[in-house]
Amino acid sequence: MKEIFLCKYGEIVLKGANHSFFEGALIKELKFRLHKYGKFNISRAQSTVYIEPLDDSIDLDAVFEALTRVFGIVTIERAAVAEKTMESIEAVTREYIPRFLEGKKTFKVEAKRADKRFPLKSPEIAAQVGGFVLSSCPYLRVNVKEPQVTVKVEVRENGAYITAGIFKGAGGMPLGTNGKALLLLSGGIDSPVAGYMMAKRGVKIDAVHFESFPYTSERAKEKVLELAKIVTRYSGSMLVHVVSLTHIQEELVKNCDEEYFTLLLRRYMMTIAQRIAEKNDCGALITGESVGQVASQTMQALAVTDNAVTMPVFRPCIGMDKEEIVQISRKIDTFETSIQPFEDCCTVFTPRHPKTRPELSKVLEQERKLDFEALVNEALEGETTVYIPADI
């Protein structure tokens, strides 16, 4: 008995004349992620990608797990393939479906006759398949309103597909279909979530990490690179640009009023990030900021930091509370790494009473106490880059 995967996509069907571009990007990503497991025949029809293993030794459980991390796929079904006869559908149903119904009490059958040449209509197919299931699993009863399991039969051009259970995919848009952006990646909970959320919208991700050695440790940088590796399970490979802010922070402490340290540092970070983004063909910056979460994330403070750059700044966490962000970090497996107790640059020289409603003119007055351009260029000269391959 042959088993295949049916991967259905959502938003792509709304793209009109451009839908083939998005479908092509999705197929390309699927081929890249699945090649390590073996050979497959991958095709598409009627808003569905059909993934057919060509080798009986392929680990289908591992393939399923990989598919759950591919953006652009809304639902995933594991399906047995039957010939387009009721005799074949009956045989496959009796052999394949009972394993999915163990321990269940109720079910229903849904049928779809996409190939109108098939002699039975959808309700007739559903009724007959329901009879096959009941005779194979007599302990079950039919519940059409709230079944524990829904058995589905789809009769399509190339065959009949029988499934029991629809699994949620990653959703979103295929990677790379909405440009490239640079993520400001700290060691905290928020920024990996922000990167994941923008990758879900089809944005290719690179990252910049700011360190403050020796005030921050080498282990703190390793933690960030580990977070980047986890995010690549969804976003694909990325470059992580590492930039030291040590000298900038020391100069801020010597020359500027303490209450402005964080705001000034954020302006340096945004400026440096934009320079790196421009050099690497990124069209936007991404941060994990959420309104009001800390002093540098009030509406006025965000306006001050945005003033330092000209490119768009995406903040997908901006309207979320901490618990919502934590839930996503647990879902993508970054949470436990994020909470490891290693400091980042933003915790160094933290002011006791930071400005929460800053005036731009006063921030710029403080900024002019230093040679801004020289310090930015010095930091960029010390930039190092780490390639993080996709952890698929």
Task: Give the pLDDT confidence of 132-144 residue by residue, as tens digits.
Answer: 999 999 999 999 9
Query: Between residues 279 and 294, which one has the greater pLDDT?
Result: 279
Q: What DSSP letter does each residue of 263-274 carry, written as one string?
A: HHHHHHHHHHHH
Over residues 27-86, the pLDDT tens digits come to: 999 999 999 999 999 998 878 899 999 988 999 999 999 999 999 999 999 999 999 999
Over residues 72-123, the pLDDT tens digits come to: 999 999 999 999 999 999 999 999 999 889 899 999 999 999 889 999 999 9
Q: What DSSP letter does each residue of 33-86 carry, written as one string?
A: HHGGG--EEEEEETTEEEEEES-TTS-HHHHHHHHTT-TT--EEEEEEEE-SSH
Give the pLDDT band of residue 344 (cuts 50, 70, 90): low
Q: In what order do the strands lie in the sheet with 285-286?
A: 313-314, 285-286, 180-184, 204-211, 238-244, 384-388
List every span in the chain annotated with CATH 3.30.2130.30.
3-168
Task: Please name which of 275, 277, 280, 248 lies closest in space to residue 264, comparing C-alpha atoms.
Answer: 248
Tell me, what's the pLDDT at 243?
97
Return d(Cα 95, Cα 87) in angstroms, integer: 13
Mean pLDDT of 354-381: 93
Question: In sequence order, what are the residues at sequence separation of 6 or more whose Cβ sits closer than 8 angstroms to the Cβ of residue 362?
Answer: 260
170 has pLDDT over 90:
yes
349 has pLDDT over 70:
no
CATH 3.30.2130.30 fits 3-168, yes or no: yes
Give the pLDDT band of residue 347 (cuts 50, 70, 90): low
List every span in the chain annotated with CATH 3.40.50.620.
180-388
Sign of the C-alpha dihedral, residues 187, 191, 193, 197? negative
Tell me, what's the pLDDT at 331?
96
Return d(Cα 192, Cα 338) in angstroms, integer: 9
Class (C level, CATH) for 180-388: alpha beta
Over residues 191-249, the pLDDT tens digits come to: 999 999 999 999 999 999 999 888 888 888 999 999 999 999 999 999 999 999 999 99
Give the pLDDT band of residue 2 (cuts 50, 70, 90): confident
Q: Which two tokens stand for residue 72?
A: 């652009």
Average pLDDT, the chain: 92
